[in-house]
Amino acid sequence: MFNTIKCQLVIASVLFSQITYAQSDDEFSARELNRELVMAALWVEVSGEYRALAHQAFNVAKFRLDQFIDENPGTLKFAVVVDVDETVLSNIDYEAHLIKEGVYHSGSLQKSWADEAIAPAIPGAVEFLNYAKNQGAEVFYVTNRKENTREGTLKNLSREGFPFSDIDHLLVKIDTSNKQPRRDEILEEFEIALLIGDNLRDFSEDFDSKSLEETSRLAESKKDLFGNKYILLPNPMYGDWEAKTYDGNWRLPASKKSQLRHESLHAWKPKEAQSHP
């Protein structure tokens, strides 16, 4: 009888610990994981360095566009292709909402944000794209925002003063996040002078690699394109690199994602600590 009660108590203890772990992991989930975004979001929100890098990107873009025009005098139809999020429109207020409310990004939440059409322009973006238009370029916005965000996105682009804020120049995600088919559509009529984005797949599907190491090797092999045909904007908040940190598994528990983030850091260990384990 005593052994039976003892066994039941042990089982109950194990079950309680599992429930407690599940509860703590659930509490950790969005709120705690999102807190790890604070420094990245704060840097985008307040630092002069972020603004300077954005202006630098568009200054380089202007230089390269002028160079393209000079070197291709017979090209009548040419285009500048840009991503939307963190390339021409800033979602910093949306990211701050995720952090402060302790909620995950979702399609419905992104639609609500897009529908409000209040995302501010990235520093330098409006000026550069209007310059490109004045030089004879057409601007195409190739984004992985969904079709249900199209109206709000166009309203936002127009409100901020971006050129070509119309249905023909906004190519949203329909059935795949692969942007190459949409770029190929543009290439049927235009030569693409510049590709501008914050994620490597804004430039080429070659970067749709499975690991961080492979992506780094590919970036190194294409280094001559960056600052030439490829113009990269800074975005420390999210991107394909995060998915690769989780081996592509976005469904991992928040606590596991946090663990993998920390394990990806190659921490220095002082020699004194190495000699005294």
Q: Assign residue 137 the CATH number of its domain.
A: 3.40.50.1000
In a domain, 17, yes or no: no
Which pLDDT value is given to residue 13?
A: 40
191-197: strand order across its sheet? 170-173, 138-146, 78-82, 191-197, 230-232
Is residue 143 within 8 Å of 170, Cβ to Cβ?
Answer: yes
Tokens of 208: 């749709």
In a domain, 130, yes or no: yes
In a domain, 273, yes or no: no
Residue 182 phi, psi dihedral angles, 5° rounding: -70, -35
Under DSSP, the state recorded for 201 is G
Domain that holds residue 82: 55-248
Query: Alpha-carbon distance 173 to 28, whole Å?
Result: 32
Average pLDDT estimate for 122-136 = 98
In a domain, 27, yes or no: no
Q: From 242, 268, 223, select the one nearest 33 (Cα to Cα).
A: 242
What are 148-201's pLDDT values in tens digits? 999 999 999 999 999 999 999 999 999 999 999 999 999 999 999 999 999 999
Q: From 80, 88, 203, select the one nearest 139 (Cα to Cα).
A: 80
Is residue 198 within 8 Å of 241, Cβ to Cβ?
Answer: no
Around Cβ 204, how many Cβ atoms within 10 Å? 16
Comparing 23-32, 204-213, 239-248, the range with the smallest average pLDDT is 23-32
Query: Alpha-carbon distance 211 to 213, whole Å?
Result: 5
Average pLDDT estimate for 200-206 = 97
In a domain, 260, yes or no: no
In a domain, 25, yes or no: no
Q: Which residue has the tokens 């059935």?
A: 175
In a domain, 38, yes or no: no
Query: Alpha-carbon distance 190 to 77, whole Å?
Result: 5
Whether 258 has a pLDDT exceeding 70, the answer reads yes
Q: Is the dihedral of CA 21, 25, 26, 28 positive or negative?
A: positive
Whether 10 has a pLDDT exceeding 60, the answer reads no
pTM listed for this prediction:
0.88
Q: Structural domain tally of the chain?
A: 1
Q: Where are the alpha helices (DSSP H) in the chain?
A: 2-27, 33-35, 38-46, 48-71, 92-101, 107-116, 125-134, 150-160, 180-187, 212-221, 240-245, 254-263, 271-275
In a domain, 12, yes or no: no
| Amino acid at position 151, single letter | E
